[in-house]
Copies of this chain bind each other. A is one copy, B any other.
């Protein structure tokens, strides 16, 4: 770009982190900055050789977006994708859908739509553009690229198909089943000829599971004084596959109900994230008795399968074989409460923040 050009400077509202956060964020850990501005161009800086200027359209609230404890931080330093989501006075970092306003990366051009890591603000300069995916199919809601067609979709796909290797006729249990990932795991399980039961925390969500997503059974875990009895009611012959989203007491109830050679894909443990110390899990000996496998996974290692995933899921969406429920709030100012609500289970379906329609 010619240095002498007059560059347009516009308002750039941002959701900033107040402090370094070491736990589940609270609303007061974030604040809206309405006075910030941005020059609508990719800077000439050295670290911007492949940078892009994005206009953010949708932002995603995901359970992984929480503070990292010092010990976890050390542990996660071995990960390829060590991301700090909350850095003091910086915009929150998360997945989103955006439009390319300018690109120094030759793989993208102005007007392209992309999804991937962006900032909680109206416009973002992204230097790590390799982690952005170009959106080719726009005959589906764009917000789907924060959910069914984005990271949560790939998470459900990788965890269910790659980690659990489901077989027709097997029994599948999904916790947090109406969430961004769970609702898809349940529908994938039905498409694979499995029997699937999900749990969630409100009647509304349980109804969604049964009426909208076609689960064979569903229950409200808050209304079950005895989780073991609830699982035995739905799985008298036991569970072949457990898609683990919650951890703690639920995992402890599941373990004795696993079948021989059962598989547990550990996607997350959202019930544990706001505890000082995670709950103890007592029934791990059942892994031996049942010769069962429990495997943690991160979606980052499965993105090479994204093309294959789209080939399966796009037709399924268009033919109405898979449906997806989103909980969309409007405006950056609504984003902090939406993120907090996720950890309290307030969202119904995938939590999305609409920043701009185009």
Task: List residues of chain A with CB under 8 Å of any chain B CB.
Answer: 71-72, 75-76, 78-79, 238, 247, 251, 256, 259-260, 266-269, 272, 277-298, 301
Contact = CB atoms under 8 A, between A and B. Distances in A.
Contact of A278 (B75, B277, B282): B282
B287 A294 contact: yes
Contacts of A267: 288
A85 to B, nearest CB: 15
A331 B139 CA distance: 80
10 contacts: A78-B290, A267-B288, A268-B288, A272-B285, A281-B281, A285-B296, A286-B296, A287-B294, A289-B298, A294-B294
Contacts of A260: 78-79
B296 A292 contact: yes
B285 A282 contact: no
Given A279-B280, A280-B280, A75 B286 contact: yes
B282 A266 contact: no
Nearest to A286: B75
Given A280-B280, A283-B278, A288 B266 contact: yes
Interchain residue pairs A-B with the least CB separation, the first 10: A280-B280, A287-B296, A288-B296, A293-B295, A278-B282, A294-B294, A281-B281, A266-B287, A269-B285, A266-B288
Nearest to A269: B285
Residue among A266, A280, A296 with the highest chain B CB neighbour number at 10 A: A296
Nearest to A272: B285
A295 B287 contact: yes
Given A290-B296, A294-B295, A285 B247 contact: yes
Contacts of A247: 284-285
Contacts of A278: 282-285
B269 A284 contact: yes
Given A279-B282, A281-B281, A291-B295, 8 more contacts: A75-B290, A78-B238, A269-B288, A278-B285, A287-B296, A288-B298, A292-B296, A294-B294
A94 B288 CA distance: 19
A256 B75 contact: yes
Nearest to A252: B280
A53 to B, nearest CB: 33
Given A75-B289, A291-B296, A284 B256 contact: no
